Amino acid sequence: MKRQNVRTLSLIICTFTYLLVGAAVFDALESDFEMREKEQLEAEEKRLQGKYNISEDDYRKLETIIMEAEPHRAGVQWKFAGSFYFAITVITTIGESAVYSPWRFNCIPALRATTVSI
């Protein structure tokens, strides 16, 4: 195998490994917090239903109206797929200056800076 092909394959493997590790880290760090928030939200939902004597169907209708009135990303964001997507955006937004750097391994400082900022 040519040296250039080995280097290209190594970069692909390194990038994919970075994506998997980044996704796993974000999944581990963020999913527990989101699950606790979800449990608190469900407890608050039950409290409001009891306090104002709202049926489950009426509460769902009210919830649907509110969610349609204010569009946002519903659901849990930091599952593995969301974490993987975030890791991809980190790689793609590292910056153009790294491309023009004369240093051969220009991705290492950017990855180090990204990891530290996380």
pLDDT digits (tens, 9 = 90+) for 36-93: 999 999 999 999 999 999 999 999 998 888 877 765 555 666 778 888 888 888 888 7
CB distance 19 to 91 below 8 Å: yes
Please tell me the pTM assigned to this model: 0.46
Per the model's pLDDT, the better-predicted residue between 114 and 34 turns out to be 34
CB distance 56 to 49 below 8 Å: yes
3-class DSSP state of 77? coil
Per the model's pLDDT, the better-predicted residue between 26 and 101 turns out to be 26
pLDDT value of residue 39: 95
3-class DSSP state of 71? coil
User: What is the pLDDT confidence band of residue 113, given thresholds at 50, 70 and 90?
Assistant: low
Please enumerate in sequence order all residues whose Cβ is within 8 A of that of 54, keeping only pairs 6 or more positions apart, or say none.
48, 62
Domains in the chain: boundaries? 3-117
CB distance 29 to 115 below 8 Å: no
**Whether CATH 3.40.50.1820 fits 3-117:** no
pLDDT value of residue 105: 56
